[in-house]
Amino acid sequence: MATNKLALIRYKTIDNCLRNRYRKWTLENLIEKVSDALYEYEGIKDGVSKRTIQADIQLMRSDKLGYNAPIVVNDRKYYAYADPDYSISNSPINDADMEKMREVVSVLRQLNGFQYFEEMSDLVARLENTLQQRTTGGHSHIQFEGNGQLKGLHFITPLHQAILRKVPLLIEYQSFKAAVPTQGVYYPYLLKEYRNRWFLIARPKKGKVLATLALDRIVEVQEMAANGFVEYDGVDFERYYADTVGVTKSGRDRGRKIVLWVHPRHVPYVLTKPLHASQELLKHDETGAIICICVVLNFELERELLGFGETLKVLSPRDLQRRITRRIGQMQALYDETRLMAETSDKPLVTLPQ
């Protein structure tokens, strides 16, 4: 089993190298990277031989593991993938691996009844459902929220590994406001999910304030030398985000008491699915409910509150009430403009494709 584990580390390291097309990879470069990975993960100081890496490359090229990796040698020296989108992570799982996964899920399901594993219920259900579909080809019996068109999910594993191994990253990033991507060195600290969108919480090398990078806006990620990593020395992230809806927060933001009125028709929904862990019920009668939460004022909070439409009203603080009122006014003006255009035009405003 230990040999298989070491081999997997070698394959994954070679794969990560060849996926990085910003650099040319000689056999010596691959040997160096694999040796570094074996030392980091397993504490092996002897490195790896040239013959082992050559054998690994041949095995990855073959169909013995199901990889059939399109590894080519350019200029008789530089190794690369002929297909720039190829990765062994995209290879189909063989029957033996599928059987091992079923065994793992079976063990997890048995542990699921214990208190310490209660948070694994969702994970176990997802794994069971996926395995059932892959092995039988049948219909899904449980449906999870997700977005199949969401970009950047393939960055989750390398970013998570970089966080665990404390490796600085050179990240090429293009925000929605930027015309072109920019590159910067970041120290990764946390991966955070909000509404099926993933974010990397990191500190830029040229700055002291934490940055929030959406994975769907990341263009490319490259590992840097591990010896340059700067540790996170701030508040524990569980506490840092305890007063936050979403991910938008600066180190200076503090939670504020927000009082809300909820329409009688919507009270059961808000009471059974609180807006935030800090939610308290202040009053409840036939006119509705008054609740309060203590959170940071940010964009995600405003979007959450606006989503309730006419069934929720901000009572305080006054600045949040004004911001919500302004946005409602802008929405009203948008629809008024659309209605006016419809009344004064004989042509449809939108032509749908046939």
Q: Read off the pLDDT of residues 273-293 as tens digits, 9 standing for 90 and up.
A: 999 999 999 999 999 999 999
Reduced to 3 states (helix: H, G, I; strand: E, B; else coil), residue 242 is coil
CA proximity to 213, closest of 232, 235, 197: 197
Q: Identify whether 250 is part of a domain.
A: no
What CATH code is carried by the domain that includes residue 336?
3.30.70
Q: State the total domains in the chain.
A: 4
DSSP state of 217: G
DSSP β-bridge partners for residue 170: 185, 222
- Rounded CA-CA distance 124/91 in Å is 23
| Span between the terminal Cα atoms of the chain, in Å | 57
| pLDDT exceeds cutoff 90 at 18 | yes
205/178 same-domain check: yes
Q: Identify whether 125 is part of a domain.
A: yes
Q: Identify whether 241 is part of a domain.
A: no
Task: At 325, list the tokens.
Answer: 């009122």
Provide the domain limits for residue 122: 95-136
pTM exceeds 0.85: no
Percent share of the chain, pLDDT over 70: 85
Q: Identify whether 242 is part of a domain.
A: no
Reduced to 3 states (helix: H, G, I; strand: E, B; else coil), residue 215 is helix
Q: Identify whether 224 is part of a domain.
A: yes
What CATH code is carried by the domain that includes residue 198?
2.30.30
Q: Identify whether 346 is part of a domain.
A: no
166/211 same-domain check: yes
Q: What is the mean pLDDT of residues 200-206?
A: 94
> Rounded mean pLDDT of the chain?
86
Read off the pLDDT of residues 173-184 as tens digits, 9 standing for 90 and up. Answer: 998 888 899 999
Q: Which class for 3: exposed (0-12), middle (13-18), buried (19 or more C-beta within 10 A)? A: exposed
132/161 same-domain check: no
| pLDDT exceeds cutoff 70 at 215 | yes
Read off the pLDDT of residues 140-175 as tens digits, 9 standing for 90 and up. Answer: 666 666 666 778 888 888 899 899 889 999 999 998
- Rounded CA-CA distance 32/293 in Å is 53
Give 111's pLDDT tier (boundaries 50, 70, 90). low
Q: Identify whether 85 is part of a domain.
A: yes
Q: Identify whether 121 is part of a domain.
A: yes
Cα three-residue angle 30-31-33, rounded to 5 degrees: 65
